[in-house]
Amino acid sequence: MDMPRDTQAPLSDEALLGLYAAGDREAARLLTGRLAPRAFAHALRMLGDRAEAEDVAQEALLRLWKVAPDWRPGEAQVSTWVYRVVGNLATDRLRARKRRRAEPLEDAPEPASDQPAVLQRLIEADRMAALQAALADLPDRQRQAVVLRHIEGLANPQIAAIMAIGVEAVESLTARGKRALAALLAGRREDLGYDDAD
């Protein structure tokens, strides 16, 4: 009796990709379950738009399925490849946005409430919007390095592999990105609901 693959010892991403290339649809389902949430989360943090992030994550996985028959094990990790493709696709979309420079209409604000929970949600939404706007002002490579390191929580060697640069370059990009974010957000503490104790 065959047991479902996800109840057995887990296979590596590379093994699942090889099985998919050989026609195993279950391997594709399992690999998609592993990679899609990470691809979407990374795209969302880079783009700040759910619909665009879904499109980017889907496009990255479609590209993975196309290269599956030609995948050469040992050259790169599948997850590293997916992060790189998502980063490149997101960067392309951000550059296209800058070219269009169409200013989006602001969403109507939610009605104010005296409830602290509602106020806290509004403050958090303002903080996230300010961070997203500041991230959008960073150069593309700095933004990608900061998002991968400080939001995705990846280690510098992983980021170096994803971005195809050295670890020292990752450290430099993240340091410059953090300084730029601090400068962009300077003077906004009170606006964003922070007091001296925060």
Cα Rg of the chain (Å, integer): 20
Residues 143 and 177 sit within 8 Å (Cβ to Cβ): yes
Encoded amino acid at 176, one letter: R
Strands (E), 101-197: none
pLDDT of residue 109: 53
Q: What is the mean pLDDT of residues 14-32?
A: 91
Residue 122 banded pLDDT, cuts 50, 70, 90: confident
Residue 2 banded pLDDT, cuts 50, 70, 90: very low
Nearest alpha-carbon partner for 58 in 78, 40, 83: 40
Show the tokens assigned to 30: 């399992």
Flag whether pLDDT at 30 surpasses 90.
Answer: yes
Q: What is the mean pLDDT of residues 167-179?
A: 93
Residue 181 banded pLDDT, cuts 50, 70, 90: confident
Show the tokens assigned to 67: 């290269």
- How far apart CA 123 and CA 81 sit, in angstroms, is 36
58-86 residue pLDDT tens:
999 999 999 988 888 777 889 989 999 99
Taking the chain, what is the end-to-end CA distance rounded to the nearest angstrom?
58
Show the tokens assigned to 175: 């340091």
Residue 120 banded pLDDT, cuts 50, 70, 90: confident
Show the tokens assigned to 137: 């002002």
Flag whether pLDDT at 126 surpasses 80.
Answer: no
Residue that is written with structure tokens 């959008």 in the block: 136
Whole-structure pTM value: 0.65
